[in-house]
Amino acid sequence: MTKAGFASIVGRPNVGKSTLMNGILGQKISITSNKPQTTRHAITGIYTDEDTQIIFLDTPGIHTNMQSALNKQLNRTAMSTITTGDVIIFIVEALRFNKDDEKVLSKLKGIETPVILVINKIDKLQNKEELFPFIAEMSERFPFSDIVPLSAKQAKSADVLLDVIKKYLPEQPFPYSEDEITTVSSAFLAAEVLREKLTRRLNQELPYTIAVEIEEFKIEGNLYRILAAISVERESQKGIVIGKGGATLKEASTQARIDLERLFDAKVFLRAFVKVREGWSDDEKALNALGYKDL
C-alpha cells in the first residue's frame, strides 16, 4: 500500500524553507534569496518515489513586524497551511533561536499534528558536538515528534528527513500523478523567477516593494512568449528597477529567461516592463489584484 500526505514547512523568514523543498525535489519550485518576504505564497512541491508521495507546502516566513497589509497577508497565508499538513516541519538555524523563531513555535502549541524539528545549516558548525546542548534546549521548548539536523543545501540530507516524514503519512493512493512536481501554474513560476532575479539584483534597495504580474503567457510549439509587468510603489523606484540604460531590468530578465528555459525545457521569449502602483503593499484591493488574497 502506498503512503501519501501533506507536509507543511514553517519557520521565520530566511531560515531555509524554500532551499529545503527545492533540494528535496531536485528542482527550483520556490524562489530563494537572503531577503525576508522572498516567498509570498504557499508553494506546493510534490515528491514521489516508489511507495510514497509527499506534498510539501512551502510557506512565507511568519513575520513579527505586521505593519503593512502585505505582512499581515503573508502571516495569514503561512498560518493557514499549518492545519493543512499531516506533519509539520519547523525549521531553525543551528545554535540560533530568537524571538522570531519563538513567535512561530508559539503558533504550533496545542496543535495535535506531529511536528518535526529540522535544525538547518549544520554545515556551518566547526564543532558538531555543539549541537547536543542546543537539541536538549529545543526539546525542552516543545514536544517534537522527531529532530533532524541537516544542511538544506546538501542533497544527502534530504534522504534522512524523507524517511522521518514517511512515518507520519497515512496509507492511501497518490493524489497526484507521479510526474507532477508542483500544483502552481507555469505563469506563476515565471513571475516568481523574475521576482527572484530582481530581488537578488537590487539587493537592499527595494525588494519588498516589487510585485510581478504575468500579463501574457503563450505557448507556441517549443517557444514560450511571456510578458511581465513589474509593479513598484513610487515613480522614483521605477528608475532603480530599470537601471542605467535599462541594464538592471535587462540583466534580471536575461537571468530569469535562462532559468525558465531550463525549467520549461523550451525556448523562452521574456519581455518585462515597469509600472507604478502606488502603495500596493498596504492596499487590500491592490493585493487582491496582484494575487495575494485567499491563497
> pTM of the predicted model, to two decimals?
0.71
Q: pLDDT tens-digit profile of 240-267?
A: 899 999 999 999 999 999 999 988 999 9
Give the model confidence (pLDDT) of 9-62 as tens digits: 988 888 888 888 888 888 777 655 444 444 445 677 899 999 999 999 877 555
Determine the number of helices (DSSP H) and then strands (DSSP E) in the chain.
Answer: 9, 9
pLDDT category at 71 given cuts 50, 70, 90 is low
CB atoms within 10 A of CB 53: 21
Q: Judging by beta carbons within 10 Å of its beta carbon (0-12, 13-18, 19+), is residue 128 exposed, middle or buried?
A: exposed
Residue 155 to residue 54: CA distance in whole angstroms: 17
The number of residues making up the chain comes to: 295
Residue 221 has pLDDT above 70, yes or no: yes
> Is residue 13 a known part of a binding site?
yes
90 within 8 A of 11, measured Cβ to Cβ: yes
Say if residue 141 carries a ligand binding annotation: no
Q: Does 61 belong to an annotated binding site?
A: yes
Residue 212 in grid coordinates: 510581478
The predicted structure's pLDDT at residue 63: 46
State the DSSP code for 179. T
Full set of structural domains in the chain with CATH: 3-167 (3.40.50.300), 186-290 (3.30.300.20)
Report the distance separating Cα 177 and Cα 96, nearest Å.
Answer: 39
26 marked as part of a ligand binding site: no
The span from the CA of 22 to the CA of 28, in Å, is 5
14 a known binding residue?
Answer: yes
- Render pLDDT for 152-178 as a digit per residue (tens, 0 to 9): 887 677 888 999 999 999 999 999 999
Lowest mean pLDDT among 5-9, 145-149, 233-237: 233-237
Percentage of the chain beyond pLDDT 70 is 78
